[in-house]
Chain A
Amino acid sequence: MSKPDSRPASIALPATEPVAGRRFAGFAPAHVLVAFLLLVSLAPVVLPEFYVTLLNYIGLYALVALGLVLLTGVGGLTSFGQAAFVGLGAYTTGVLTASPDLPGWLAWAGGSPWLALVIGLLLTALVALLVGSLTLRLSGHFLPLGTIAWGISLYFLFGTMETLGGHTGLTGIPSISIFGWELDEGREIFYLIWVFLLAAVLTTRNLLDSREGRAIRALKGGMVMAEAMGVNTSRSRMVIFVIAALHAAASGWLYAHMQRFVNPTPFGLHIGIEYLFMAVVGGAGQVWGAIVGAGIITVMKQWLQDWLPKLFGASGNFEVIVFGLMMVVILHRARDGVWPLLAKLVPVRGQHIEVDATAAALPRREMPARGERILEARKVTRKFGGLVANNDMNLHVEAGEILALIGPNGAGKSTMFNQLSGVDTPTSGEVLFRGKSIAGHASREIAGLGMSRTFQHVKLLPKMSVLENVAIGAHLRGSGSVVPAAWRLERGEEARLIAEAAHQIKRVGLEEYMHEEAGSLALGQQRILEIARALASDPCLLLLDEPAAGLRFKEKEALGELLSKLRSEGMAILLVEHDMDFVMGLVDRVVVMEFGQKIAEGLPEEIQKNPAVLEAYLGGVE
């Protein structure tokens, strides 16, 4: 742990970590995990049958809710349709293991629950890919409604298809056996359910702490930034959608073999809604929240069903009303769910990501020769209706030089910046990056070519550490995918990515904040963080949008030194900047814009004397 006392006095940021070693800093995470596993494994031995059954249900629900934690809590995609995927898993195994007369082409798959699990997961992945490709593109908050639509459709299909037994369902599903051990009692299948659940929790946690995981965590509130760093956000959305569906299908498979029959009721929309309740009440961003949420909702419903009729007399149905009201109250009181409150009761020592200084450096791109034209805009014009924001703009940047694009407010600098970085497409004209036309290309393709950027309005993931934010910049320099990440098979590459991020953080001088939340930094420091993130992608061209805004004098000096050093290494840099002192002392050439047009171009000294520029900035001299 770091020692806050050793910080230089000039840093204004307050220390946020507790002082280690002196006070009780919490239990070691491994100890808490072992204690939890012990409790779980002892549960069926000591608890009465009723509670074991309850725990079985909690496990099954938590598995689905965990998928929603990933999908909704982390990725920001709300789905009401998960129950339909549970049904898909349950019905697949139901048909394959219980049907007396499977059609000939399917006969090979019949009889074995384990084979049915594999087929069920494959089928679910296929359906999820199909449904996902149709609905995931749906903008923002109408996605949940789309999921309601397909959730209902699948549910009605379960109820109406003859082969699935209609509304009465399928009976005679066998129990699962492992090496001859029949899991036909609640106490036995308990272990299988909880092994599935804990494996899912741990793999989900591993996944989130990886290259892919950072891309997934950027989906909520950082998509523009992530795309600019080379993340394929539509792919990340699809990944979590499929994973959530697979969790649900596995839960359905377990459910079918525990109940030994299936009917459509547990796969309807109302149950899909309950799964979402569980994820949100538990704490939608937290993997352990899934278990807490599933536990709370299951126990609460059981409790309401047992007690309300006794309180209010025979006519039931009060439980739904009270349940709904309690949901509203819980969400009014604990918007972030119950897990954060519970986590406070059992303090676990904070862990931050280890930086392995010995990790081999990532391979670097070959830098272009000094003087090569890296970026060139030819006659770029951008019109918004009748407004011409950029008119016939020409400019170029060479390797090993810093070009400043300046101009009064409203001159069209930001629009120009967007044309150059691929965020927007010019109405006419061409943008060439290393001789290739990039106008109209997606920003993640352009990132892959070696252009990296910062944003005028800082785009960070405020809850993630500085280190992880910078590591997103290195996304394209790794290839570790979902499955290796979930099972921690990509740790070698991950260590190299993290080491690279740490290296860039040191380079820009943010070393002591490496493990702080990015949102806790001052605005100026956040801008510097963005530069580190851009550098982590190993670019040959850096586009900086007002990097000096909000910096103090010393910080500006340090930034100037850093940029000079990058220039001497052969980097091409384009700045949009307002701070003239900063620009004039640093850059090689200046392009001045006014009313969407270039009014001057030249060396800083020339620009300072240029009458057109003086008039643009100071008004005409009468």
Chain B
Amino acid sequence: MDLQIAILLGQDGITTGAIYALLALALVLVFAVTRVIFIPQGEFVAFGALTLASLQGGNTPATLWLLLGCGVAVAAVDGLAAVRRGDARRLVSILGWNLAYPLALAALFYASQPGAMPMLLQILVALAIVVPLGPMIYRLAFQPIAEAPVLILLIVSVALHVTLVGLGLLFFGAEGTRTPAFSDAQFELGSIMISGQQLWVVGTSALLIAVLYLFFGRTIYGKALRATAINRNGARLMGFSPVFAGKLTFLLAAFIGALSGVLIAPVTTIYYDTGFLIGLKGFVAAIIGGLASYPLAAAGALTVGLLESFSSFWASAYKEVIVFTLIIPVLLWQSLTSHHIDEEE
């Protein structure tokens, strides 16, 4: 290997590492607030990327029908409850978000040619379709069992993953897709070539992490989410509804997932089931990062990205083995440095 290749691999590693960092962040967040180990996080990556690809191909993405379906289900469940309580204002808001909004999106497709839109608009539309799925899924799958043991939440999360991957295959078929790059720019830094897309990925990730940092540190909702993560009952007593916290968290997770998908779609080919492995590597990053600290999780993510790109050069057949076994020395180190016994529920 010469320096040139090493630099190339390094760039590659940093680009994917940035995506893993985003996912690690979302996973830690979801777990801390709702106790759900959110296995389907990766499906949002795939759905985001494939929805964009399908838009660019001039088609109506099938995720729109999923959004409509979920919307109808949520509207039925929540709407009935609101009617029973005679809460008209709530009913309007439920119907608005869960029925009118997806229908408006569908109307947009009916009225215009998404294939001809500028790319930025296409990205926004893709996000507009995929992101609301997050809170809807929380409402349907997790809210009814929010107090269940972590094991049950985990199993539901896995079942959801199975369902979503199945839907992915149904919606997008087995072929992989790669979308065009956001920019064709190439920058020369000495002898190093940097592509515009890589800058986009790394820059957006960094920006998003900074925004989230400000959100959690400075805004009342961010602080409320952190409070919920530390003490759910305490936050509830202070008037912050755990249901709202759950929906907000899933909204953020879905947004991070879908955006990651949109960012990475021009760099690597995305298949309907790619999300799972990407999401898992986010987990590995989170674990390396000590599971609680966001900056460490980001550092872990870069490590995973670099390790992956270098091992795919040296021993591509063993790439996954190497990445997933990396966790073991980290765990060993953690187990040697901590001695407390923790009580599980």
Within 8 A of A (CB), among B200-248: none
Least Cβ distance of A138 to chain B in Å?
Answer: 6
Contact A335 B145, beta carbon cutoff 8 Å: yes
Given contacts A273-B162, A332-B144, contact A227 B341 (CB under 8 A): yes
Least Cβ distance of B69 to chain A in Å?
Answer: 11
Given contacts A318-B166, A321-B163, contact A150 B158 (CB under 8 A): no
Least Cβ distance of A457 to chain B in Å?
Answer: 11
Given contacts A276-B155, A317-B169, A323-B162, contact A220 B327 (CB under 8 A): no
Select from chain A the residue with minimum beta-carbon distance to B140: A328
Indicate if B12 sits at the interface (CB-CB under 8 A): no
Indicate if B165 sits at the interface (CB-CB under 8 A): yes
Q: Which residues of A contact B331 (CB under 8 A)?
A: 134-135, 137-138, 146
Q: Which residues of B contact A320 (CB under 8 A)?
A: 162-163, 165-166, 169
Contact B165 A145, beta carbon cutoff 8 Å: no
Indicate if B194 sits at the interface (CB-CB under 8 A): no
What's the dominant secondary structure at chain B's contact region?
helix
Contact A277 B321, beta carbon cutoff 8 Å: no
Least Cβ distance of B157 to chain A in Å?
Answer: 10
Q: What mask results when residues 252 to 282 of chain B are scored 1 for a CB within 8 Å of chain A, else 0?
A: 0000000000000000000000000000100
Select from chain A the residue with minimum beta-carbon distance to B169: A317
Contact B151 A78, beta carbon cutoff 8 Å: yes
Total contacting residues, chain B, CB less than 8 A: 48
Contact A224 B343, beta carbon cutoff 8 Å: yes
Of the candidates A276, A280, A321, which one forms a contact with B170 in the assembled complex, judged by CB atoms under 8 Å apart?
A321
Q: Which residues of B contact A323 (CB under 8 A)?
A: 162-163, 166
Q: When chains A and B are docked, how far (Å) is the Cα of A319 from the Cα of B165? A: 12
Least Cβ distance of B326 to chain A in Å?
Answer: 8
Select from chain A the residue with minimum beta-carbon distance to B141: A328
Least Cβ distance of A268 to chain B in Å?
Answer: 11
Q: What mask results when residues 255 to 296 of chain A are scored 1 for a CB within 8 Å of chain B, else 0?
A: 000000000000000100100110010001000000000000
In the complex, which of the residues B144, B151, B332 has the most CB atoms of chain A within 10 Å of its own CB atom?
A: B151
Contact B328 A142, beta carbon cutoff 8 Å: no
Q: Which residues of A contact B37 (CB under 8 A)?
A: 141, 144-145
Q: Which residues of B contact A273 (CB under 8 A)?
A: 158, 162
Q: What mask results when residues 309 to 349 of chain A are scored 1 for a CB within 8 Å of chain B, else 0?
A: 00000010111110111011001100100000000000000
Q: Which residues of B contact A72 (CB under 8 A)?
A: 151
Contact B328 A150, beta carbon cutoff 8 Å: yes
Select from chain A the residue with minimum beta-carbon distance to B36: A141
Q: Which residues of A contact B338 (CB under 8 A)?
A: 137, 139
Given contacts A137-B331, A273-B158, A277-B155, contact A220 B325 (CB under 8 A): no
Contact B163 A280, beta carbon cutoff 8 Å: no
Q: When chains A and B are docked, how far (Å) is the Cα of A227 from the Cα of B345? A: 16
Given contacts A145-B37, A273-B158, contact A134 B166 (CB under 8 A): no
Indicate if A160 sits at the interface (CB-CB under 8 A): yes
Contact B334 A138, beta carbon cutoff 8 Å: yes
Indicate if B97 sits at the interface (CB-CB under 8 A): no
Q: Which residues of A contact B2 (CB under 8 A)?
A: none
Q: Which residues of A contact B324 (CB under 8 A)?
A: 149-150, 152-153, 156
Given contacts A142-B291, A320-B163, contact A221 B344 (CB under 8 A): yes
Select from chain B the residue with minimum beta-carbon distance to A75: B344
Q: What mask results when residues 61 to 76 of chain A are scored 1 for a CB within 8 Å of chain B, else 0?
A: 0000000000010001
Least Cβ distance of B215 to chain A in Å?
Answer: 25
Given contacts A138-B335, A139-B342, A221-B343, contact A156 B151 (CB under 8 A): no
Contact B145 A331, beta carbon cutoff 8 Å: yes
Least Cβ distance of B308 to chain A in Å?
Answer: 13
Least Cβ distance of B283 to chain A in Å?
Answer: 5
Within 8 A of A (CB), among B297-345: 317-318, 320-321, 324-325, 327-328, 331-332, 334-335, 338, 341-345
Q: Which residues of A contact B154 (CB under 8 A)?
A: 78, 141, 144
Least Cβ distance of A278 to chain B in Å?
Answer: 11
Q: Which residues of A contact B318 (CB under 8 A)?
A: 156, 160
Indicate if A192 sits at the interface (CB-CB under 8 A): no
Q: When chains A and B are docked, how far (Å) is the Cα of A148 from the Cα of B151? A: 14
Least Cβ distance of B36 to chain A in Å?
Answer: 10
Within 8 A of B (CB), among A127-163: 134-135, 137-142, 144-146, 148-150, 152-153, 156-157, 160
Indicate if B76 sits at the interface (CB-CB under 8 A): no
In the complex, which of the residues A76, A149, A222, A227 has the most CB atoms of chain B within 10 Å of its own CB atom?
A: A149
Within 8 A of A (CB), among B132-173: 141, 144-145, 148, 150-152, 154-156, 158-167, 169-170
| Pairs of residues from A and B, 9 with the lowest C-beta to C-beta distance, nearest first | A324-B163, A137-B335, A320-B166, A327-B159, A321-B166, A324-B162, A149-B324, A149-B327, A153-B324
Q: What is B's interface to A at a CB cutoff of 8 Å?
A: 31, 35, 37, 141, 144-145, 148, 150-152, 154-156, 158-167, 169-170, 280, 283-284, 287, 291, 317-318, 320-321, 324-325, 327-328, 331-332, 334-335, 338, 341-345
| A–B pairs, 21, beta carbons within 8 Å | A134-B335, A140-B342, A145-B287, A148-B280, A149-B287, A152-B321, A153-B321, A156-B321, A156-B324, A160-B321, A220-B344, A224-B341, A317-B166, A320-B163, A321-B163, A324-B164, A328-B156, A328-B160, A331-B155, A331-B156, A332-B144
Q: What is A's interface to B at a CB cutoff of 8 Å?
A: 72, 76, 78, 134-135, 137-142, 144-146, 148-150, 152-153, 156-157, 160, 220-224, 227, 233, 270, 273, 276-277, 280, 284, 315, 317-321, 323-325, 327-328, 331-332, 335
Known contacts A141-B150, A280-B152, then 11 further A-B pairs from the complex at CB < 8 Å, ordered by chain A residue: A149-B280, A157-B321, A160-B317, A160-B318, A223-B342, A223-B343, A319-B166, A321-B167, A327-B159, A331-B152, A332-B156
